[in-house]
Structure 1
Amino acid sequence: MDQALATCLAFPPEEPLNDDVAYDQAIQAHLLKLTKLLKDPPVPLSQYGGQLLELTDPEYNSLSYLAVLHSLCVPNLAGPREFVLVKLVKFLLGFDPRQIRYAGSHLSEILTAVCNGSLLPPAAAVEVVSAAILKIDPTGSMFTSTHLQLAKLAYNTNNIDPVLKVVEKNIVFYPGMANSKRPAMLCDMTLSPSVYIHKDTGFTNPVKATSVLEYDLLSGMMFCSKRDWEKAHAAFERILTFPTRDGGCSKIMAEAYKKWVLVSLLSKGKAIPIPQYTGPAAAKAYQILGKPYKEVASLFDTTNAEELRSEVEKSSQIWQDDQNVGLMKEVLSAYQEWQIKNLQKVFSKISIAEIRQQTKSAQTGTILNSDDDIEALIHNMIISNSLKGVLEKNDDGTVFLTFLPSSTVLSEAEYAQELAKTAVQLKALEPIFKTTNERLGTSREYIKHLIKDQKRAADKSELDPTMGFESHVDDEDLMGGVTSTA
Structure 2
Amino acid sequence: MSIVNDLIAASETLPRSGRISDERYDQKLKDHVTRLRQLLSNNELNHVAHDESLLDQFDPSKDSITYLFLLQLQIHNLRETTSETFPAALLPLGKLWSRSAHYLEIFNPVQVRYAGHEWRQLIELVVQAAQADSKPLLAARLVKGAMLRLDPSCAVFTSTHLLLVQLCLAAKAYTCALPVLEKPIYHIPILPSRSPFRSLQSLCAEYESSVAFVNDTTGLSSTLNSQDYLQYFLYGGMIYMALKKWDEALNYLGTAISMPTKGPISMVAVEAYKKFILVGLLDKGKTCSLPNSTATQVVKTLQSLVKPYLDLAKAFEQGDRIRLEAEIDAAQGIWSADKNTGLVFQVLNAFCKHSLVKIKKVVASLSVAELTAPISPFQGNLSGITESQIASLIMAGDLDATLAHSQLHSSSSILRFKAESLPLLFHENEAHADLQTQGKLMEGLFGSMEQANHRLGLSDEFIDNTVNRQQWPSAGGMKSEMGGATGLEMEEDIMGDLS
Q: TM-score scaled by structure 2?
A: 0.68
Show the 5 A alignment for 1:55-94.
Answer: 55-74=57-76, 77=79, 81=90, 82-94=94-106
1:208 to 2:225 alignment: yes
Report the Cα offset of residue 360 of structure 1.
Answer: 7.8
Report the Cα offset of residue 197 of structure 1.
Answer: 0.6
Report the residue type matching 1:217 in the other structure.
L
Q: Secondary structure at the match of 1:186?
A: coil
Report the residue type matching 1:380 in the other structure.
A
Q: Secondary structure at the match of 2:60?
A: coil
Report the residue type matching 1:331 in the other structure.
V
Q: Which moved more, 1:127-136 or 1:150-159?
A: 150-159
> What residue number does 1:312 align with?
328
Report the residue type matching 2:195 in the other structure.
S
1:337 to 2:349 alignment: no
Sort the Cα spacing of 1:395 and 1:56 in 2 relative to 1 into closer, same or farther, 3 A: farther
CA contact (8 A) 2:368 2:414 kept: no
Question: Which one of the candidate residues 237, 240, 251 is aligned to 1:223?
Answer: 240
Choose between structure 1 and 2 for higher RCO, CA contacts under 8 A separated by at least 6 residues.
1
Q: Secondary structure at the match of 2:157?
A: coil
| CA deviations over 1:50-72 (Å, ceiling 9, x no partner) | 32321222222222221211222
Question: Which one of the candidate residues 217, 225, 249 is aligned to 2:265?
Answer: 249
1:180 to 2:192 alignment: no
Report the Cα offset of residue 92 of structure 1.
Answer: 0.8
Report the residue type matching 1:70 in the other structure.
Q
Sort the Cα spacing of 1:9 and 1:117 in 2 relative to 1 into closer, same or farther, 3 A: same
Q: Secondary structure at the match of 2:319?
A: coil
> What residue number does 1:117 align with?
129
Query: Matched residues in 2 for 1:306 and 1:392: separation?
Result: 25
CA contact (8 A) 1:309 1:365 kept: no
Query: Matched residues in 2 for 1:355 and 1:25: separation?
Result: 81
Show the 5 A alignment for 1:52-451.
Answer: 52-74=54-76, 77=79, 81=90, 82-117=94-129, 121-156=135-170, 158-176=172-190, 179-181=194-196, 182=198, 183-246=200-263, 248-342=264-358, 346=361, 350-351=364-365, 353=367, 357=371, 365-369=383-387, 374-381=390-397, 386=398, 389=400, 400-402=416-418
Query: Matched residues in 1 for 2:17 and 2:166: separation?
Result: 44
Query: Matched residues in 1 for 2:253 and 2:17: separation?
Result: 52
Report the Cα offset of residue 113 of structure 1.
Answer: 1.9
Query: Matched residues in 2 for 1:361 and 1:131: separation?
Result: 52
Q: TM-score scaled by structure 1?
A: 0.70
Report the Cα offset of residue 175 of structure 1.
Answer: 2.6
Query: Matched residues in 2 for 1:140 and 1:92: separation?
Result: 16
Report the residue type matching 1:330 in the other structure.
Q
Query: Matched residues in 1 for 2:124 and 2:349: separation?
Result: 40
Aligned residues: 396
| CA deviations over 1:201-221 (Å, ceiling 9, x no partner) | 111122111221222222223
CA contact (8 A) 1:5 1:52 kept: no
CA contact (8 A) 1:392 1:401 kept: no
> What residue number does 2:29 align with?
27
Report the Cα offset of residue 135 of structure 1.
Answer: 1.6
Amino-acid identity (%): 27
Query: Matched residues in 2 for 1:219 and 1:14: separation?
Result: 38
Sort the Cα spacing of 1:333 and 1:399 in 2 relative to 1 into closer, same or farther, 3 A: closer
Query: Matched residues in 1 for 2:66 and 2:243: separation?
Result: 40
Q: Which moved more, 1:135-144 or 1:248-257?
A: 248-257
Sort the Cα spacing of 1:279 and 1:326 in 2 relative to 1 into closer, same or farther, 3 A: same
Sort the Cα spacing of 1:393 and 1:278 in 2 relative to 1 into closer, same or farther, 3 A: same
Query: Matched residues in 2 for 1:283 and 1:361: separation?
Result: 31
Report the Cα offset of residue 167 of structure 1.
Answer: 3.5
Question: Which one of the candidate residues 12, 32, 44 is aligned to 2:46?
Answer: 44
Query: Matched residues in 1 for 2:391 and 2:17: separation?
Result: 69
CA contact (8 A) 1:53 1:69 kept: yes
Report the Cα offset of residue 134 of structure 1.
Answer: 1.9
Sort the Cα spacing of 1:39 and 1:179 in 2 relative to 1 into closer, same or farther, 3 A: closer
CA contact (8 A) 2:320 2:380 kept: no
Sort the Cα spacing of 1:403 and 1:49 in 2 relative to 1 into closer, same or farther, 3 A: farther
CA contact (8 A) 1:361 1:367 kept: no
Report the residue type matching 2:323 in the other structure.
E
Q: Secondary structure at the match of 1:117?
A: helix
RMSD: 3.7
Report the Cα offset of residue 299 of structure 1.
Answer: 2.2
Report the residue type matching 1:13 in the other structure.
P
Report the Cα offset of residue 155 of structure 1.
Answer: 3.1
| CA deviations over 1:157-207 (Å, ceiling 9, x no partner) | 545443343334322212348943444211123341222112201111221
Query: Matched residues in 1 for 2:56 and 2:414: separation?
Result: 70
Sort the Cα spacing of 1:331 and 1:200 in 2 relative to 1 into closer, same or farther, 3 A: same
Query: Matched residues in 2 for 1:276 and 1:307: separation?
Result: 31
Query: Matched residues in 2 for 1:170 and 1:361: separation?
Result: 44
CA contact (8 A) 2:8 2:58 kept: no
Report the residue type matching 2:8 in the other structure.
A
Report the residue type matching 2:209 in the other structure.
S
Q: Which moved more, 1:177-186 or 1:256-265?
A: 177-186
Report the residue type matching 1:142 in the other structure.
V
CA contact (8 A) 2:166 2:235 kept: yes
Report the Cα offset of residue 376 of structure 1.
Answer: 4.6
> What residue number does 1:414 align with?
none
CA contact (8 A) 2:257 2:294 kept: yes
Sort the Cα spacing of 1:265 and 1:45 in 2 relative to 1 into closer, same or farther, 3 A: farther
